[in-house]
Structure formats: structure tokens, C-alpha cells
Amino acid sequence: MKNVLLLTAVVLFLLGCDKQEKQDALPSNNWQSIKWNKTLKDSLDTGATYLSVYSQVYSTTEHKTHDLTATVSIRNINKRDTIFVKNANYFDTKGDLIRTYFKDPIFVKPMQTIEIVIDEKDKSGGTGANFVFDWLAPKNAQEPYFEAVMITTYGQQGLSFTTQGIPINE
């Protein structure tokens, strides 16, 4: 009887662990909920922003790296105007496209922040990963602000830093 109870407890524990892994795999944003379904006005200003993001950084030599979790923030710093982000393209160190986070424009309400999280286990970007965002904003509105925070911890040591987006020509 003890063996049956022990076996049942182990099976339930393992099933619980499997369920948690599936929850961790969910995307950080529900892009469909912020998808813009209407026609965008021709009068909107267009722009593009480059943002460096690090999946890994070198440590002590070029042969040792630390893996990082990156949080990418898409911030609308306008108090009244909604902005639109047409795409978020993620590139690796070699400049190859890894993934596009959304293909239809999304809207970002005034003062809202949308986040993309690159898991620490995701090494696909490497030491020179980056994003390119194409966006639209009403004339005279502030451009969206793009920022990334990279972090990792090892024991009692922690490593964190930020990067800011810069405008680029399309």
C-alpha cells in the first residue's frame, strides 16, 4: 500500500512539473489583443528604430559566455496620442532574422508599455542580437521609446544593464 501511495505521489509531482513547463512557454504578450484592425491613416509619420539586445555576453575570455534574460520595452511616451508598431524583427549576431513577433500593426495606448521577453535559455540571438521596429505616430507626437534590460544571476553575483533604441533610416 505504501508503494502505491508513493508511486501516486511521484506521478502527480511529475505531472505538475510538466504543466508548469507548458505555462512557461506561453508568449509574453497576446499580440491579437492589441492588433490594429482598422486602416491606418496616410497622415501618420513613419519611423524605424534599432535596438541592441544581448542574449549572451563574454566573460573572462571569448570562449566563455553568460546567458541573459532580456526584457524589451516598447513605450508610448505620449499623454494623448496612440502610436502603432508595424513589426518587431529580431536578428542574430550574423544579421539573420530569427523571428518576427507580429506581422500586423499593433497599437500602443498613451503611456502604455508593451514587453517582449527573451528567455535566458534562448541563445539564438548571441552576443550581438538586435531588433528593428517600424512604427507610425501622429504628426507632432513623440516617437515611441524602445529600451532593453538584460539580466542574469549566478549565486550571489548579478549582472544587469540597459540599452536604448536609436532612430534609423528605412
Say if residues 69 and 152 touch (Cβ distance below 8 Å): yes
Output the nine-digit C-alpha cell for 13: 509531482
**Residue at 5 is within a domain:** no
* Tens of pLDDT, residues 124-158: 999 999 999 999 999 999 999 999 999 998 888 88
Residue 102 confidence (pLDDT):
87
Confidence of residue 11 (pLDDT cuts 50, 70, 90): low
Asked, for residue 40, whether it belongs to a domain, the answer is yes
Residue 42 within a domain:
yes
Domain annotation covers residue 51:
yes
Task: Classify residue 104: in a domain, yes or no.
Answer: yes
Could you give the number of structural domains in the chain?
Answer: 1
Q: What is the DSSP string of 74-143?
A: EE---SS--EEEEEEEEE-TTS-EEEES-SS-EEE-TT-EEEEEE-TT--TTGGG-EEEEEEEE-TTSPP
User: Considering only 2-6, 15-19, 28-32, 107-111, which range has the smallest mean pLDDT?
Assistant: 15-19
Domain of residue 68, residue span:
32-168
Residue 4 located in a structural domain:
no
Q: Is 85 exposed, middle or buried (0-12, 13-18, 19+ CB in 10 A)?
A: buried
CATH number reported for the structural domain that contains residue 84 in this entry: 2.60.290
- The mean pLDDT value for 116-128 works out to 92
Residue 27 lies in a domain: no
Question: Does residue 142 form part of some domain?
Answer: yes
